[in-house]
Amino acid sequence: MPLKFQCISCLIVLSFVWIATSQGAETLQILEDEGKLVLTGEISKALGTYDEHLKGAVEYLLCGPGGKEYESIIVVNSSAEEIHDAILKLGVERGSPPMYDEEKDEMIGATGSSVLVFVEWEVDGKTKRVRGEDLLYNTQTQKPMQHIEWVFSGSREIPDLDSEDEDAMIPQAFVGNDIIALNYIDGSALFQSPIPSEESPYKKNAETLPPLGTAVKVTIEVNQKMQRYILISGKVQGVGFRYFTQQNATKLGVHGYAKNLPNGKVEVVAEGDKATLDEFVKILWKGPPASKVEDLKVEARPHSGEYTTFGIKY
């Protein structure tokens, strides 16, 4: 429940919620204004326990206490049920879990809202922050896992054996505490990978993964639509920068415009989801071959929906 402080003349409602256990150490923070969940946890101490049998295979990026900790990268201190209820508080609706299509004789991946996952921990007094995928190694591509947007399906539902109602159903994740599955057809978890695969090709990324038992903070961020107002300085006019911007925006599905300003800068208004806009900004930093970007300022703004293409303004 949201924490509230009430006085005679005012009611102050915090914009976040803390869910904690009786020990007060395990917590889940809900940042409603930012569309984020922040979880505490640790790199699974059980990871690799059955390596002789599993041969290093990892099935989950996240699990809860008592979940499949031996094949999970991170064990968070909150249950799947707590995380499920928390993300609903962010305004995210349950999607659909992976399912078998009898007519097409194939598995259909999960559908639903997408989220980004970030992990951070302390190293020599400094905070290291990476995408969750950076902790995994793809044995097929021989590279770290590609950055993706995880799908919130909410898990497949199964009969609730603890309920007196014979027809009662609950998400399977509530039972197994499976939270983020690497296999896109694993409907037992709350979140799935969107990448089709018959089995998980992932192992831990030894070059990035901190020691087992390391305390971590995990941020699950809704990949919501937004606008970015961008000002680019440097040698950015007369070098095809606006056309370069338009071309890449069109490829990524970003809407908005690029415009030359009298002060020699290029103004860009871009709308799309957060992950796509992050990639778009990285591309703008590089610019076309004849350009030289010296500075790039980005201001986050609410999504307007007024743009349906990406144009060039004069």
The rounded radius of gyration (Å) of the Cα atoms in the chain is 22
What is the structure's pLDDT at 51? Answer: 67
Q: Where are the beta strands (DSSP E) in 59-142?
A: 60-63, 72-76, 99-101, 106-108, 114-123, 126-131, 136-138
Which residue's structure tokens are 């090709």? 201
pLDDT bracket for residue 242 (50, 70, 90): very high
- What is the reported pTM? 0.79
The number of CA neighbours under 13 Å toward the Cβ of 112 is 27
Q: Is 138 a catalytic residue?
A: no
Could you give all domains of the chain from N- to C-terminal order, each with its CATH number? 40-222 (no CATH), 225-313 (3.30.70.100)
Tell me: the pLDDT tens digits for 123-182?
Answer: 999 999 999 999 999 999 999 999 999 999 999 999 998 888 888 999 999 999 999 999
What is the structure's pLDDT at 106? Answer: 83
Of 131, 156, 228, 242, which is the active-site residue? 242
Of 228, 260, 263, 301, which is the active-site residue? 260
Backbone angles phi, psi at 38, to 5 degrees: -120, 120
Tell me: the pLDDT tens digits for 26-58?
Answer: 589 999 988 999 999 999 999 988 766 667 789
DSSP 8-state secondary structure symbol assigned to residue 183: S
What is the structure's pLDDT at 279? Answer: 93
Do residues 71 and 203 make contact, with C-beta atoms less than 8 angstroms apart?
no
What is the structure's pLDDT at 105? Answer: 82
Q: How many CB atoms lie within 10 A of CB 222?
A: 20
Q: Enumerate residues 6+ apart whose C-beta is below 8 A from 7.
A: none
> Quick one: average pLDDT of 256-285?
96
Q: Is 129 a catalytic residue?
A: no
